Amino acid sequence: MAAERAGQMDATSLGVFLAETFPQVAGDFAIESVTAEGLVLRLRVREAHLRPGGTVSGPSIFALADVGIYLAILARIGPVALAVTTGASIDFLRKPAADADLLAEVRILKLGRSLAVGDVLVRSDGAEAVVARASMTYSIPPKAAG
């Protein structure tokens, strides 16, 4: 837990944290890599994520962006289960490829004492075109500063 005490979590410890804290959704996600700017998160697309016509639903893409930015914040400050999303904007740009997972490329743009902001580009696995763009703000509880 030395890395976490130092306020840094790698892909493995983020995965463990996700499984323990959000057991109901953890199986949907896989942390591909932790990068200098943020991380890459995979949504394992299943039947439950789809809308008629085979499109991944908007709320599923929203959840991917939300979990991705949340984990990227934790990668920097360590496990803070109580960070909460206060605001988000999202643009749905293209229909995702059928039968492909989605990959979210997350950047942390600000990590302040009380607010963190990140943005995300979502693409179908193996494709270049951007499926969605999102940015979100998280409120970080005071205890996290200690």
Q: Does 48 bind its own copies (CB under 8 A)?
A: yes
Q: Does 8 bind its own copies (CB under 8 A)?
A: no
Q: Does 109 bind its own copies (CB under 8 A)?
A: yes
CB 72 within 8 A of CB 32: no
# of chain residues touching its own copies (CB under 8 A)? 37
H or E element, residue 56: none
Q: Does 145 bind its own copies (CB under 8 A)?
A: no
CB 94 within 8 A of CB 82: no
CB 64 within 8 A of CB 102: yes
| Residue 131 CB neighbours (<10 A) | 23
Binding positions for its own copies, rule: CB under 8 A: 21-22, 24, 48, 51-52, 57-60, 62-63, 66, 81, 84-94, 109-110, 114-115, 117, 119, 121, 130, 133, 135, 137, 139
